């Protein structure tokens, strides 16, 4: 019985053994399919990203790690400058000016975009190289090493361009020489002198200096002398750039000592044509327009008064517009001299007519007082539209002729008689030609307009000759 059970078990094992081998041969394929299924689900779940653990390490990341190991960044303290405790480290600077974006007279500043390049040597970053080729990095490595802390003196605002990445370049040579370049836009102060505005020339400068290291720790210098400053072709709307010149100096601070300072000096000469069209030509026309009143009849009060007031108000508008676009300085500008002198000419033309009208009224009132006005005389009929009496408009035939008196007859005889020469010892009465001329002009007020037609243009022409010879 036992033998029969044993034989049965052996037969069952013999029958199940091929099935077990078949299942074990298909299991690796099922496992592989399962891994593929899990991988596809993971990729779909994470938006197409594949876990880094399931892939090979990125080659660029490994290269960066190798570069950091090659430069031995972790082996040194880059919070300290190169050669700490020794002599000052020399840092060469060169600048390429890309553009001058704007110049503001109101804020007294300018905005400039430039490439700022630093050159120095740091033996801590030296690395062996068989082909003596440099290695170039971006801003990620710059944050891990020492770089000069150059800043712009008198800058109001500045920034490093970051489209599409930060515009920073670091190039390391095998011997430890380093080139560090950044692209910066800076707005800096420019102390402008507007005494000759708009016929002025402005001297501006952009100043570079180390913030923390004085001359005992860091020495700034122009890398290639005068050739260290290069410019692209720069065209400005209101200025012409006459010169770009680098220079060097020292700055002293009472608490920290002496610092090296580099200067980017440039001279700006203003284009005058814009201001000729906007300011000077309209001003000249307004002054000449005020002279038209000298040819208008002195009895046309509305015409002459309205013309004078119009030119005065126009000059006031021009002066206000120019002042609004300029800083509020405490000294007189060249354009102010021209505008206020022109305003004075326009104002005097209005005063001239006031004098003409007054003298005309006085003259005609004297003529009326010298005659008897009949009771039937209507004064309103004898007045013209300017409100003044005129002898040509009054019928004097009805006036009674004034009887001659012995004094008047004596005066008439004396005027008709010949003037005898003064005898010896006779005292001569001194004449007053100025007073006589003034009385003559007052009695002939129409001559004031005649003189003004010549005097005003000649005086304004003389003023222009003096003005342009001084400022042009």
The encoded tokens of residue 204 equal 């501006």
168 plus 207 within the same structural domain: yes
Looking at residues 317-323, what average pLDDT do you find? Answer: 92
Domain boundary (270, 288, 305) is at 270
Q: What is the pLDDT of residue 133?
A: 85
Q: Please indicate, yes or no, if residue 318 is contained in any of the structural domains.
A: yes
- Cα distances from 76 to residues 70, 71, 80, 88, in angstroms, run 13, 10, 9, 19
- The pLDDT value recorded for residue 464 is 97
Is 147 within 8 Å of 134 (Cβ atoms)?
A: no
**Weakest mean pLDDT among 302-316, 360-374, 382-396:** 382-396
Residue 359 has pLDDT above 70, yes or no: yes
- 434 alpha-carbon distance from chain centroid: 54
Two tokens at 170? 């670091």
High-pLDDT (> 90) share of the chain, %? 50
Residue 130: pLDDT band (50, 70, 90) is confident
For 174-190, the pLDDT digits (tens) are 999 999 999 999 999 99
Confidence of residue 389 (pLDDT cuts 50, 70, 90): very low
- Whether pTM > 0.75 for this model: the answer is no
Nearest-angstrom CA–CA distance, 382 and 297: 18
Q: Is the pLDDT of residue 385 over 90?
A: no
Our count of domains for the chain comes to 2
Confidence of residue 376 (pLDDT cuts 50, 70, 90): low
Same domain, 338 and 207: no
Calculate the CA 71 to chain-centre distance. 47
Judge whether 103 and 237 are in contact, CB under 8 Å.
no
pLDDT at residue 440 in the model: 66
Asked whether residue 244 is assigned to any structural domain, the reply reads: yes
The verdict on residue 425 lying in a domain is no
CA angle 82, 83, 87 (to 5 degrees): 125
Pick 265 or 141 by higher pLDDT.
Answer: 265
The pLDDT of residue 454 is 95
Same domain, 98 and 223: yes
Q: Within a domain: residue 395?
A: no
Min mean pLDDT across 48-62, 85-99, 158-172, 199-213 is at: 48-62
> In this structure, are 107 and 247 located in the same domain?
yes
Q: How many CB atoms lie within 10 A of CB 34?
A: 10
Mean pLDDT for the stretch of residues 50-74: 55
pLDDT greater at residue 371 or residue 331: 331
Dihedral, CA atoms, 296, 298, 300, 306, nearest 10 degrees? 70
The mean pLDDT value for 291-300 works out to: 90
pLDDT at 293: 92
Residues 175 and 309 in one domain: no
Q: Is the pLDDT of residue 405 over 90?
A: no
In CATH, what number is assigned to the domain containing residue 139?
A: 2.70.170.10
Q: Say if 67 falls within a structural domain.
A: no
| CA 43-45-47 angle, 5° bins | 65
Higher pLDDT, 280 or 413: 280
Say if residue 182 is in the same domain as residue 260. Answer: yes
Q: What is the mean pLDDT of residues 148-170?
A: 94
Give yes or no for residue 459 having a pLDDT over 70.
yes
Q: Which contacts qualify for 376-385: CB closer than 8 Å, 24 or more apart?
A: 384/299, 385/299, 385/301, 385/302
Contact 290, 345 (CB under 8 A): yes
**Closest C-alpha to 412, from 402, 403, 404:** 404
Q: With respect to residue 390, please indicate whether it lies within any of the assigned structural domains.
A: no
Same domain as 201, residue 310: no
Rounded average pLDDT over 129-140: 86
Task: Verify that 112 and 240 share a domain, yes or no.
Answer: yes
Sign of the Cα torsion 233, 239, 242, 244 reads negative
Domain boundary among 216, 242, 270: 270
Q: Which residues pair with 264 in a beta bridge?
A: 206, 246
Amino acid 57: pLDDT:
45
pLDDT confidence of residue 35: 44
Residue 70 is predicted with a pLDDT of: 72
Q: Is the predicted pLDDT of residue 341 greater than 80, yes or no?
A: yes
CA angle, residues 333, 266, 93, in degrees to nearest 5: 150
Q: Residue 293 is part of which domain span? A: 275-365+458-471
Least confident of 14-18, 66-70, 254-258, 391-395: 391-395
**Do residues 238 and 294 both lie within one domain?**
no
Q: Does the pLDDT of residue 379 top 70, yes or no?
A: no
In angstroms, rounded to a whole number, what is the distance separating the alpha carbons of residues 97 and 91? 19
Residue 375 has pLDDT above 70, yes or no: no
- Of 236, 270, 304, the position where a domain reaches its end is 270
pLDDT of residue 447: 84
Each residue's pLDDT tens digit, 417-435: 444 554 554 554 555 676 6
Q: What's 352's domain CATH number?
A: 1.20.58.390
């Amino acid at each position: 019985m036992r033998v029969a059970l044993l034989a049965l078990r052996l037969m069952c094992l013999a029958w199940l053994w091929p099935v077990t081998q078949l299942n074990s041969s298909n299991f690796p394929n099922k496992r592989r399919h399962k891994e593929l299924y899990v991988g596809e689900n993971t990729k779909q779940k994470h938006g197409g990203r594949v876990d880094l653990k399931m892939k090979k390490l990125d080659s660029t990341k490994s290269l960066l790690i190798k570069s950091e190991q090659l430069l031995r960044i972790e082996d040194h303290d880059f919070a300290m400058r190169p050669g700490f405790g020794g002599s000052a480290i020399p840092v060469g600077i060169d600048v390429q000016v890309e553009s001058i974006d704007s110049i503001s007279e109101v804020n007294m500043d300018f905005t400039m975009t430039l490439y700022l390049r630093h050159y120095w040597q740091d033996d801590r970053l030296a690395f062996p190289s068989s082909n003596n080729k440099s290695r170039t990095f971006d801003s990620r490595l710059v944050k891990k090493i020492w770089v000069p802390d150059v800043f712009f003196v008198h800058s109001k605002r500045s920034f490093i361009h970051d489209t599409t990445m930060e515009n920073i370049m670091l190039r390391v040579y095998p011997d430890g020489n380093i080139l560090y370049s950044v692209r910066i836009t800076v707005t800096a102060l420019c102390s402008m002198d507007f005494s000759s505005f708009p016929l002025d020339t402005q001297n501006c400068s952009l100043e570079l200096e180390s913030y923390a290291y004085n001359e005992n720790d860091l020495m700034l210098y122009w890398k290639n002398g005068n050739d260290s400053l290069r410019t692209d072709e720069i065209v400005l709307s209101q200025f012409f750039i006459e010169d770009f010149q680098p220079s060097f100096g020292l700055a002293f601070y009472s608490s920290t000592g002496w610092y090296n300072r580099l200067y980017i000096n440039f001279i700006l000469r203003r284009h005058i044509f814009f201001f000729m069209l906007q300011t000077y030509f309209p001003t000249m026309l307004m002054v000449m327009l005020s002279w038209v009143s000298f040819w208008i009849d002195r009895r046309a009060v509305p015409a002459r008064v309205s013309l004078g007031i119009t030119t005065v108000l126009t000059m006031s508008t021009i002066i206000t517009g120019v002042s609004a676009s300029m800083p509020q300085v405490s000294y007189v500008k060249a354009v102010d001299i021209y505008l206020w002198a022109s305003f004075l000419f326009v104002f005097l033309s209005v005063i001239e007519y006031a004098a003409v009208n007054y003298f005309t009224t006085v003259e005609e009132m004297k003529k009326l007082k010298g005659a008897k006005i009949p009771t039937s005389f209507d004064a309103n009929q004898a007045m013209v539209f300017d409100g003044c009496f005129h002898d040509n408009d009054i019928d004097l035939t009805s006036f009674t002729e004034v009887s001659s008196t012995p004094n008047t007859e004596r005066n008439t005889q004396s005027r008709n008689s010949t003037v005898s020469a003064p005898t010896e010892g006779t005292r001569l009465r001194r004449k007053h030609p100025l007073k006589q001329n003034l009385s003559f002009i007052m009695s002939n007020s129409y001559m004031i307009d005649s003189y003004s037609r010549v005097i005003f243009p000649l005086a304004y022409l003389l003023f222009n000759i003096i003005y342009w010879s001084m400022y042009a």
